[in-house]
Amino acid sequence: MATENNKILTGWGRTNPGMSSKLELPISSDWPAMLKALSSSGVVARGLGRSYNDAAQLSGGTFIDTTTWNQVQHFDPSSGILQVEAGASLDQIMREFADLGFFVPVTPGTRHVTIGGAIACDVHGKNHHKDGSFTDHVLSLDLATPSGILTLTREENPQLFNATCGGMGLTGVILGATIRLLRIESVFMKVDTHRTNNLDEVMDLMETEDDDYRYSVAWVDSLARGSSLGRAVLTRGDHALLSDLTGAQRKAPLEFKPKTLFSAPDIFPPGLLNSLTIKAFNELWYQKAPKKEIGAIHHAASFFHPLDVVDNWNRIYGPRGFVQYQFVVPFGHENVIRSSLELLAKNRSGSFLTVLKRFGKANNGLISFPMEGWTLALDLPVGPANLASLFDQLDEMVISAGGRIYLAKDARVSKSHLKIMYPHLEEFEQIVTSVDPTRILQSDLSRRLGI
Ligand SMILES: Cc1cc2nc3c(=O)[nH]c(=O)nc-3n(C[C@H](O)[C@H](O)[C@H](O)COP(=O)(O)OP(=O)(O)OC[C@H]3O[C@@H](n4cnc5c(N)ncnc54)[C@H](O)[C@@H]3O)c2cc1C
């Protein structure tokens, strides 16, 4: 039975539940003493729980709720440099700083993530090919470890900085960070949309033209087959300038007040999303997109976070939940994108939201996910008996191309595969051991993978 402090937690995919004890601590705690006091059962930091898997929970241990640490400590409008506590969300930052003409430099597909979560997973957005990932815009961060509180920068403590950026919360508790915001003239986006007939068409367009756009993403119909395999809706754009706006947009160019339309109730049966319903959804989504539209003006909230209009949309997968499988393969291995879509179509395993992007160069994060190449994200409902073997086959394809999967989403990879995908894993583990010799910081993910 859950007591007041015990919570059954899952990630956004609602798989792998585990009971952890909740701890709310002031940010100014005596961290080394506090962490050592919790050494027998272990500790994990949790932000807004938007990682899909078991990364922000610790069965039988303690989780630190960071979401009350949300104070802005300093902001310099001349440079856009913001010092903020780690529990502040990107949503909060967008709402507070849009008015002043600033936006977050990188945003994932939801703005309901904390600064701590964005650093720990080194999240990427639709602009990786231009701007890199979130931690590329982090100038410094404060990390509480059992050995003390450390301020990390690339220059002064590069090893621990590179282990913490993308390190899945295993190097310590991030207390705050200094990041550089992006200057904007408006919260609107100037967007070009192309509906393509197949995978070759969309990949061609991305290869030849993505560099002309700051943001680019393709939604792919995972169930299309034959000559339509990989048909897609490609959306690309940049922040609109004042001169791009007209009418009401021009009157309030920096107003960022997106609303949630409703919250999905927890009543959906398992299996509601199956190959038939997903096929119908995909058909509708594909047909409703314009064949070609240039220069349309959209609000940033609908461009970046269309799913955020429905709270708890993950409930539509029913109580069994879903797994997101996201991988990246280097350029030159486009065949893996094709083969993975063929595999899904052959197995009639519909992915509800299938997203294709191009990544730019990797940063120095030791176990950070992005690397130069193609990344594909698949959302697959739990249920079909062949799911585990499908993921294993995908792992093999990804590994043989020198690629890897994203730890913020993985719910099932093996340690042996992980080691091949992340060649700096051992170095990462050594650094973690140097700051946390008894491994107080853990998660269900780190235990599952023996990290
Ligand atoms: C709809 C949706 C779309 C998404 N789209 C993208 C996308 O486009 N790109 C992308 O990269 N990701 C994407 N994600 C994943 C999401 O951005 C990341 O998982 C992000 O880390 C979640 O932040 P959070 O605050 O919810 O962290 P949590 O899920 O609570 O935690 C994630 C990890 O961060 C660690 N952590 C959190 N706070 C701290 C802290 N203060 N100190 C140390 N460690 C900490 C946790 O221990 C855990 O390991 C998406 C998720 C959803 C639900």
- Residues 205, 170 share a domain: no
CB 170 within 8 A of CB 446: yes
CB 302 within 8 A of CB 237: no
Boundary-marking domain end, from 184, 207, 241: 184
pLDDT of residue 427: 98
Q: How far apart are CA 334 and CA 396, in angstroms?
A: 15
Boundary-marking domain end, from 184, 203, 236: 184
450 belongs to a structural domain: no
pLDDT of residue 276: 87
The answer, yes or no, to whether residue 3 has pLDDT greater than 80, is no
Residue 355 belongs to a domain with what CATH number?
A: 3.30.70.2520
- Residues 244, 173 share a domain: no
Ligand 1 center from residue 22 Cα (angstroms): 18
* H helix intervals, 68-168: 90-97, 115-120, 128-131, 158-164
- Residues 204, 177 share a domain: no
221 belongs to a structural domain: yes
Helices 387-400 and 334-347 meet at what angle, rounded to 10? 170
Nearest CA to ligand 1 atom 7: 108
The predicted model gives 52-78 an average pLDDT of 97
* Ligand 1 nearest-atom number relative to CA 406: 11
205 belongs to a structural domain: yes
451 belongs to a structural domain: no
Ligand 1 center from residue 408 Cα (angstroms): 6
Nearest CA to ligand 1 atom 13: 108
Beta bridge partner(s), residue 293: 193
- Residues 411, 347 share a domain: yes
Which of 12, 113, 135, 260 maximizes ligand 1 atoms within 8 Å of its Cβ, making it the mutation to test the pocket? 113
- Residues 224, 169 share a domain: no
Nearest CA to ligand 1 atom 11: 123
Convert the pLDDT of each residue in 12-45 to its tens digit: 999 999 999 999 999 999 999 999 999 999 999 9
Boundary-marking domain end, from 133, 158, 184: 184
- Residues 166, 137 share a domain: yes
Ligand 1 center from residue 49 Cα (angstroms): 7
Q: What percent of the chain has pLDDT over 90?
A: 92
Domain housing 110:
72-184
41 belongs to a structural domain: no
Nearest CA to ligand 1 atom 39: 116
* Ligand 1 nearest-atom number relative to CA 89: 25
- Residues 302, 155 share a domain: no
Ligand 1 center from residue 274 Cα (angstroms): 27
Q: How far apart are CA 205 and CA 193, in angstroms?
A: 11
Distances in Å between the alpha carbon of 335 and those of 199, 203, 254, 332, 377?
Answer: 11, 11, 42, 8, 16
Kindly list the protein residues whose Cβ atom lies closer than 6 A to any atom of ligand 1: 12, 44-51, 55-56, 66, 86, 108-110, 113-114, 116-118, 120-121, 123-125, 168-169, 173-174, 307, 408, 443
- Residues 192, 180 share a domain: no
**This model's pTM is above 0.95:** yes
Angle (CA) 11 17 21, round 5° = 90
Ligand 1 center from residue 320 Cα (angstroms): 21
Convert the pLDDT of each residue in 263-320 to its tens digit: 998 988 888 888 889 989 999 999 999 999 999 999 999 999 999 999 999 999 999 9
Nearest CA to ligand 1 atom 28: 49
430 belongs to a structural domain: no
* Ligand 1 nearest-atom number relative to CA 133: 11
- Residues 221, 149 share a domain: no
- Residues 219, 160 share a domain: no
Convert the pLDDT of each residue in 102-131 to its tens digit: 999 999 999 999 999 999 999 999 999 999
- Residues 127, 272 share a domain: no
* Ligand 1 nearest-atom number relative to CA 175: 41
**Token pair recorded at residue 320:** 């069994």
Residue 180 belongs to a domain with what CATH number?
A: 3.30.465.10
Residue 132: which residues within 8 A CB-CB, separation 6 or more?
A: 106, 360, 361, 363, 370
Convert the pLDDT of each residue in 211-226 to its tens digit: 999 999 999 999 999 9
Ligand 1 center from residue 46 Cα (angstroms): 9
Convert the pLDDT of each residue in 352-396 to its tens digit: 899 999 999 999 999 999 999 999 999 999 988 789 999 999 999
The answer, yes or no, to whether residue 447 has pLDDT greater than 70, is yes
- Residues 214, 88 share a domain: no
pLDDT of residue 181: 98
How many folded domains does the chain comprise?
2
Residue 302: which residues within 8 A CB-CB, separation 6 or more?
A: 309
Convert the pLDDT of each residue in 290-303 to its tens digit: 999 999 999 999 99
Comparing 75-89, 161-175, 379-393, the range with the smallest average pLDDT is 379-393
Ligand 1 center from residue 443 Cα (angstroms): 14
44 belongs to a structural domain: no
Which of 14, 22, 50 maximizes ligand 1 atoms within 8 Å of its Cβ, making it the mutation to test the pocket? 50
Ligand 1 center from residue 115 Cα (angstroms): 9
102 belongs to a structural domain: yes
